Amino acid sequence: MNTFGNGQTPNIDLSGHCSESWGVPCTKYASQIAYCQGLGVKIFLSLRGASGQYGLSSAQDAQEFAQHLWTYYLSGQSPGLLGNVTLDGIDFDIEAGSNLYWDVLLKDLYTYKEVKTVYLSAAPQCPIPDHYLDAAIRTGLFDYIWVQFYNNPTCEYTDDGDTQKLISSWNQWTTTFNATKFYVGLPASPAANGSAGGYVPIDVLNNEILPQVETSPKFGGVMLWSRYYDYLSGYSGKINCTAPAALKVVRAPLVAMMKSASEVLYRLLSQY
């Protein structure tokens, strides 16, 4: 969802697949979402990313937006921009605009767990504190946190072979904050992130990084950007996670899926 808050009419842009703003409704994916859910896959709606017109102007704005998400995307009460769907969770990928009231939105969404199971996740940058989501993360209410260990030289793998900045940052994340599971977020190929950096060769990941990060009881698996680049590189199929119930996670612009340790989780993202 790339437009919401501050009195704006919410809009979804599935990265070139559909958008109400250019006349291609996203409701055509309702049946596909239902099909995936029938297979036991969990579907998340992700709140924006690096670009878009979004933000929360007040606590009341956050509360009203939480109600909107519940009514049109989580409860199945009314059809929204994805049609008549009952999604499983909301993902916070906040990388622009104001850093205010995201904790209020999270707390309001969390109250709906009393009605049904609602999963809540976040995709912060690896430097601590995350500029946009720190207050929300410190509530301890997120189920899953996929930390982006890229775009940030101070806490990512670098081409000189230094793994310690990433590992040190991972240890800080998993010991400082509470969440059910944390994920190591990486580019799926050198092209996936270009000059911004953070790509980890698969042998380095399997032999030097995973043996250390998997020791945390909070280790959930590996998250990759993106499904397109993973499809080209085959990176996820080469990951050797040995921790029980670890997931390989691939970020994609269309659907988010979570099934089992051997399945790939596609997150619903409007755009990187």
Amino acid at 211: P
Q: Are 182 and 222 in contact (CB under 8 A)?
A: no
CA dist 204 and 50 (Å) reads: 28
Amino acid at 114: E
Q: Are 90 and 45 in contact (CB under 8 A)?
A: yes
The single residue listed with the structure tokens 């080209």 is 232
Peptide bond connecting 226 to the previous residue in cis, omega within 30 degrees of 0:
yes
Give, rounded to a whole angstrom, the gap between the first and last alpha carbons of the chain.
Answer: 12
Could you tell me where the beta strands, DSSP code E, fall in the chain? Answer: 3-4, 44-47, 53-54, 89-92, 119-122, 144-148, 181-187, 219-225, 247-252, 264-268
Contacts of 217 (CB under 8 A, 6+ apart): none
**DSSP alpha helices (H): ranges in 42-155?**
59-69, 102-110, 134-137
**DSSP alpha helices (H): ranges in 132-194?**
134-137, 164-176, 190-193
If we measure between CA atoms, which residue out of 96, 103, 25, 132 comes closest to residue 271?
A: 96
Q: Are 166 and 210 in contact (CB under 8 A)?
A: no
> Which residues are designated catalytic?
95
